Structure 1
Amino acid sequence: MFPLAEPLWLLPLCYGAALLANLFPWAHARHWALARLAGYGGALLVVVALLLALLDGRENDRLGLVMAALVSLLGLVILDYSERYLRGEPGQRRFILALLGTLASVATVVSTGNLYLLVGAWILSSLCLHPLLTFYRDRPAAVIVAHKKFIASRLADACLIAAAALLIQAAGSHHLPLIVERLASAASAGGGLAWPVELALVLLVLAVILKSAQLPVHGWLIQVMEAPTPVSALLHAGLVNLGGFVLLRFAPLLSQAPVAQTLLVLVGGLTAVLAALVMMTRVSIKVRLAWSTCAQMGFMLMECGLGLYELALVHLLAHSLYKAHAFLTAGEVVGQVNRHALYVPERAPGLGQTLLALPLAGLWVLALHGLWTSFLPQHALPAAALALLAVGLAPWCIRRASWVHGVLVSGVLLVAYLLWHLAAAGLLAGTPRPGPYQEALAALVVMLFIGLYLLQAWITGHPHGALARRLHQRAFAGFHLDEYFTRLTFRLWPVRAQ
C-alpha cells in the first residue's frame, strides 16, 4: 500500500481552481495570468510534496510523486508556450479552459489511489482534449481526425469501466493499492489469478492499447497535426503516456496474467517495428514525430508485457521530456537544416560496418553490465533488457567517423541508463521480476528487433535495391492499416458536417 503525500492532492485542485476562476466575467482580461499562476503554483506544490517525502520517514507513493513532477513541469512549459503561440488568435479563453481541464484530469490520474477517480479522470482527460484537437473548427481534417479519436477513446472507456468493475468486485475495495495487494496475494496463494481478474486485466490492456494509438487504431495520432503545436506537445508528451503509467500501477497483477502479457508484447512489438519502418519514409518533421510516438508507445507496452518495468518507467520519463522538447522546437528545424548544410556531410556507414556494430555493441553491453553487477549484484538487468539495449546502442557505435569515439559514446549512454535504471528500481520497489513465461516472450521480441535492425541495415546499404523500393511503397502508405479502421468508424458513427 502507498500512502499519498498530502500536498500532491492539491495539484489537480490548483488547475481546477484556475479553470473555475476563468469562468467568471471579471477574469476575461486575466485568463493567461490565472493559467500561469496555476502552472507555477502546481510546480511549487510538487516541490513541497517532494521535500516532505524526503523528510518524512514513512513510505510514500514514489511513482505518483515523480509522475506529478513530470505533469507539473510539462504543464508549466506548455502554458507559457501557448500564451506566446496563440497571441492574436480568437478563442484563447476556450483553449485555456480545455487545457486546464486536461491538466487537472491528468494530475488526478497520477495522484489518486482511488480506482473510481482514476477511471473518471482518465475519461475526463480525453473529453477535455477533444476541444483542443478541434481548436480550429474551420479545418475539416481536424474535425474528422478528432472524430476518429473520439470513437477509439470511447471504446477504450468501455473496456476501462468494465475492467474496474471486475477488479472492485473481486477485491471488495475501490482503493487501488488494496486491490493490487489483495488480488496479488490471492493469486500467489491459489496458484494463479481468478478468471474475472484475468479478464479485467485483458480489458485494461485493451483500453491502454486503444488510448496509446497502437496499430491498427493509430491513425488519429498520425493525422492530428491540424491542432496547435502546444496541443501536440501535450498529447504526445503527456496523455498518450498515461497508459504506461496505469500498467505500472497494476504491475504485480499484470505479471501473473499471461494472456494480458502476450497481448501487450504482440501488439506493442508489431506496432514498434511497423511504425519504425513507416517513419523512415516520412519527410514532415511533425509527422515523423507522430510515427515515432506510435513506435515508442508500442515499445513501452511491450516492455511492460515482458516485465521490464524499470526500463518502461525510464522510457516513459525520457519519452515525455523528449517529445515535449521536440514538438515545441519543431519550428526551428529549418534553421537547423540550414546550419547543417554549412558542414561537410559525413559518409554514411556501409552495410559491413552496420552489421559489425551489432555484435560489438552486444559485447560492450555485456562487459559494462558485468562490471556493474560486480558492484551492485542485486540490480542485475534481465537478459531481454540487455539484448534490447545492445540493439538500441549499436547505431551509436558507427555514428562518428572514429570507431573508438562511437564505442565510448555508447558506453557513456549505457552507464547513464544503468544509473537511471537504479533510480527507477528505487521508485518501483517491490515490483516483481520477469517470470519464465515472460522470458519466453522475450526471446521472440529479441529476434523481432534484431530482424528490424538487419532490415534497416540492408535498406540503408542498398537504398535503391528491389527490397527497398517494394517496402517503401507499402511503408509510405502505412501498410494500409488505418484505412480499415477509418471505414469501420465512419460506418458505425458518421461524422457530422460543421
Structure 2
Amino acid sequence: MAGIFPWLVAAPSLLLLIAGLIPGDWANRHLAVMRQVATSVTAVAASLAALVAIGLAIGTAIDVPLVTVPGLPAFNIGVYFDSLSAIMLILISFIGAIISRYSIRYLDGDHQQGRFLCRILFTLGSVLLLVVSRNLLQFTVAWILSSYSLHQLLTHHRQRPWAIWAARKKFLISRLGDIFLLAALAATYATFGSFDYTEVFAEAVALQEQSATKSVLVSAIGALFVLAAMTKSAQFPFHSWLPDTMEAPTPVSALMHAGIINAGGFLVIRLSPLIVLSPVALSLLAIIGAITALLGGIVMLSQTSVKRSLAFSTIAQMGFMMLQCGLGGFSAALLHIVAHSLYKAHAFLSSGSVLEQAARMQLTQARARTGRAVVATDIVAVGVAAGVLGLTLAGFGISLTEKPGGVVLGFVLLLALTNLLATFFATRLWKLAGLGLALAVTVAVAYFTGFEIIDHLLAATMSRRPIDRSPLDLTVRIVAVTSFVVIFVVQNFIQSFSHLHWVQVFYVHANNGFYLDIPFRRLTGWVYGQPAAVS
C-alpha cells in the first residue's frame, strides 16, 4: 500500500490533466463522448480524493518523490500530502465535479462546448497538482499552468470585446504574480539550497536563530511569497481583474471564486512555517487584507449586476481570509476558504434565479429605516450577540487572547452576529426574533466546531505566529478593527441617509470601484496598444 498510496494521491490531478489535453476540435466533434469523459473523470477524481483522505486519517502524512532526476534532486517530482492537502483536494475535486456537470447544460448549444470542457478539466487538474506538489518548483509550475488554463476559459467568448480585454488585464496581473513567485523561488534556493518543503522549513528556523543577516533575507523571501499570494487572491491593488472577468461563462466564475482564487491563501498557509519568520510580511498581509475587505464590502453594496456584486463580495471575503493569515489565524483562514468556496460556488451556479429568490425573501425589507430605530435595534443586537459569543467561547473552552489574532477575529464575528440578529429583531415579531437568536447560536456553535476540527487537523502542518505586542502589531489591529467597523456602519446606516447629497455622490464613486482599476486598465491598453473595450 505504501508504494501505491502516493500514486493514488497524484491520480486525481493526473487524470484531469490528461483528459484536459484532449484536442478541442476532437472534443467539439464528439461532444457526447466529451461530456461523458468530463463527468466520469471529475467523479473519479472526487472519489479518489475522498479515498486518499481516508488513507491519510488511517496513516500519516507523506513526502514522496515519484519521478527522480539523476544528479538533479532539486527537480524531483512527487507528492506532499498532509491534512491541509487532503482538505483542499476534497474541496476542489467536489466543486469541480459539480461545475463540470453544470457546464453541460449551461453551454448546451455552444459549438465550442467540447473545447470548454477540456479547459475546465485541465484547470482543475492544475489546481489539484498545486495542492499536492512536493516542492516549490513543482508548485510554481502548477501555479503558472492554472493561470494559463484559466486565461483560455476567460476568452471562451471571443466575440465579446470586454471579455477579451478583461482576460488580458488578468493575464498581466498574473504575470506580475509570477515574477514575485519566481523571485521568491530563486531567493529560496539561493538561501536554503533546496525547493523541498520539509528541507526549507527546517533550514529557515535554523538560519533565523543563527544570523541576523539571514533573518532579513528570510523576511524578504516571505514578503515576496506574500506579494505573489496577493495577486492571485485579488488583494488591493491587484483586485480589479476579478469583477472585470464576469463576462466569462458562469461555470468559469464559479470555478474562479470557489477554487482558483484560494490559491493565494493556500500558498500562505502551506508556507506558514517560513512566512511566520517574517513579521513584516505578515503585518503587510494583514493590513492589505483589511483594506481589501473594506473596499470589497463597500463597493459590493453599490453594484447593480448580480455577478459583479458577487465578485466584490469575493474580494471582501478574500481580504478577510488574508487578514486572518496575517494575524496568524491559519486555521480560521482555512475554515473560511472551505465555507466561502462552498457558498460562492452555489451563489454563482444559482445566480440566474436570484430575482426569483429575492421575491420570496421579504425579511430584509423589514429592517428599520430611520436612524434612531436602527441604532436602538443594533444596540440590543450587539448585547445579545456578545452574550451568544461569550457563552459559546466558554462552552468550547476557547480564550481569544491566547489565539493569534483572536481578539480581532472575535470582534469581527461579534459584528457578524450583530448584523444577523438585527435583521430579525427589526421585524419586531417575537417569533422571528426567536428564530434569529436560534440562528445566531447555530452559527456560533457551527463556526467554533469547524474551527476546532480544522485547528486539530492542522496542528502538525502549520506554524503558529507568536503573540505580538509591538507597535506594528498594534497598528495592524487598529486598521483591521476600524475597517470592519466602517463596513458595519455603512451596511446598517447608509440606507437611512440615502437622501443626503454626499451619500449619493459616495454611491456613484463606490459603484465605480473608486476608480482604482484605472492604473491597470491603462497598463493593459499600453501593452496591447488599444483602448479599453466597453463593458
TM-score normalized by the length of structure 1: 0.92
1:487 aligns with 2:522: yes
Task: Report the counterpart of residue 197 of structure 2 in structure 1.
Answer: 176
Give the residue type in structure 2 aligned to 1:55.
I
List runs of 5+ in structure 2 lacking aligned partners: 63-80
Length, aligned pairs only: 495
1:395 aligns with 2:448: no
Q: CA offset at residue 484 of structure 1?
A: 2.5
Question: Structure 1 479/46 Cα, relative in aligned 2: closer, same or farther at 3 Å?
Answer: same
Question: Structure 1 344/487 Cα, relative in aligned 2: closer, same or farther at 3 Å?
Answer: closer
- Residue-by-residue CA offset, 1:378-431 (whole Å, 9 max, x unaligned): 989822221121122111111213444433321221111110001110222143
Give the residue type in structure 1 aligned to 2:467.
G
Question: Structure 1 359/469 Cα, relative in aligned 2: closer, same or farther at 3 Å?
Answer: farther
Distance 2:320 2:274 in 1: 20
- Structure 1, 192-201 or 420-429: larger mean CA deviation: 192-201
1:348 aligns with 2:349: no
- Structure 1, 172-181 or 348-357: larger mean CA deviation: 348-357
Distance 2:529 2:222 in 1: 31
Task: Report the counterpart of residue 76 of structure 1 in structure 2.
Answer: 97
Distance 1:351 1:377 in 2: 31
- Residue-by-residue CA offset, 1:256-286 (whole Å, 9 max, x unaligned): 2122112212221111101111111112211
Question: Structure 1 377/370 Cα, relative in aligned 2: closer, same or farther at 3 Å?
Answer: farther
SS of residue paired to 1:399: helix
Give the residue type in structure 1 aligned to 2:140.
V
- Structure 1, 203-212 or 397-406: larger mean CA deviation: 397-406
Distance 1:197 1:425 in 2: 26
Q: For the Cα contact (< 8 Å) 2:28–2:111, is it kept in 1? A: no
Task: Report the counterpart of residue 99 of structure 1 in structure 2.
Answer: 120
Identify the match of residue 385 of structure 1 among 409, 424, 429: 409
Identify the match of residue 287 of structure 1 among 303, 308, 322: 308
Counting only pairs closer than 5 Å after superposition, residues 234-249 of structure 1 correspond to structure 2 as 234-249=255-270
Identity %: 34
Task: Report the counterpart of residue 88 of structure 2 in structure 1.
Answer: 67
1:310 aligns with 2:331: yes
Identify the match of residue 53 of structure 1 among 43, 53, 56: 56
Identify the match of residue 357 of structure 1 among 363, 381, 384: 381
Distance 1:376 1:149 in 2: 39
Question: Structure 1 177/348 Cα, relative in aligned 2: closer, same or farther at 3 Å?
Answer: farther
Question: Structure 1 451/239 Cα, relative in aligned 2: closer, same or farther at 3 Å?
Answer: same
Question: Structure 1 38/143 Cα, relative in aligned 2: closer, same or farther at 3 Å?
Answer: same
- Structure 1, 473-482 or 194-203: larger mean CA deviation: 194-203
1:109 aligns with 2:137: no
Q: CA offset at residue 497 of structure 1?
A: 11
1:421 aligns with 2:451: yes
Distance 2:529 2:383 in 1: 52
Task: Report the counterpart of residue 251 of structure 1 in structure 2.
Answer: 272
Q: CA offset at residue 310 of structure 1?
A: 1.2
Give the residue type in structure 1 aligned to 2:36.
A
- Structure 1, 207-216 or 100-109: larger mean CA deviation: 207-216
Distance 2:396 2:84 in 1: 25
Identify the match of residue 367 of structure 1 among 374, 387, 391: 391
1:337 aligns with 2:358: yes
Give the residue type in structure 2 aligned to 1:469.
Q
1:435 aligns with 2:455: no
Distance 1:255 1:408 in 2: 38
- Residue-by-residue CA offset, 1:95-116 (whole Å, 9 max, x unaligned): 1222121111101000112211
Distance 1:144 1:494 in 2: 12
Distance 2:58 2:219 in 1: 39
- Structure 1, 343-352 or 217-226: larger mean CA deviation: 343-352
Task: Report the counterpart of residue 77 of structure 2 in structure 1.
Answer: none
Task: Report the counterpart of residue 296 of structure 1 in structure 2.
Answer: 317
Q: CA offset at residue 228 of structure 1?
A: 0.6
Q: CA offset at residue 135 of structure 1?
A: 0.5
Question: Structure 1 480/379 Cα, relative in aligned 2: closer, same or farther at 3 Å?
Answer: closer
Q: For the Cα contact (< 8 Å) 1:22–1:28, is it kept in 2? A: no
Distance 1:455 1:288 in 2: 16
Distance 1:363 1:189 in 2: 48
Distance 1:345 1:218 in 2: 31
Q: For the Cα contact (< 8 Å) 2:331–2:455, is it kept in 1? A: yes
List runs of 5+ in structure 1 lacking aligned partners: none
Question: Structure 1 28/55 Cα, relative in aligned 2: closer, same or farther at 3 Å?
Answer: farther
Question: Structure 1 155/376 Cα, relative in aligned 2: closer, same or farther at 3 Å?
Answer: closer
SS of residue paired to 1:227: coil
Task: Report the counterpart of residue 72 of structure 2 in structure 1.
Answer: none
Q: CA offset at residue 17 of structure 1?
A: 2.4
Distance 1:107 1:483 in 2: 34
Identify the match of residue 187 of structure 1 among 183, 208, 224: 208
Q: For the Cα contact (< 8 Å) 2:327–2:404, is it kept in 1? A: no
Distance 1:358 1:181 in 2: 45
- Structure 1, 262-271 or 122-131: larger mean CA deviation: 262-271
- Structure 1, 35-44 or 434-443: larger mean CA deviation: 434-443
Q: CA offset at residue 318 of structure 1?
A: 0.7
Distance 1:254 1:289 in 2: 30
Q: For the Cα contact (< 8 Å) 1:6–1:49, is it kept in 2? A: no
Give the residue type in structure 1 aligned to 2:13.
P
Identify the match of residue 36 of structure 1 among 35, 39, 44: 39
RMSD: 2.8
Q: For the Cα contact (< 8 Å) 2:28–2:114, is it kept in 1? A: no
Question: Structure 1 136/380 Cα, relative in aligned 2: closer, same or farther at 3 Å?
Answer: closer
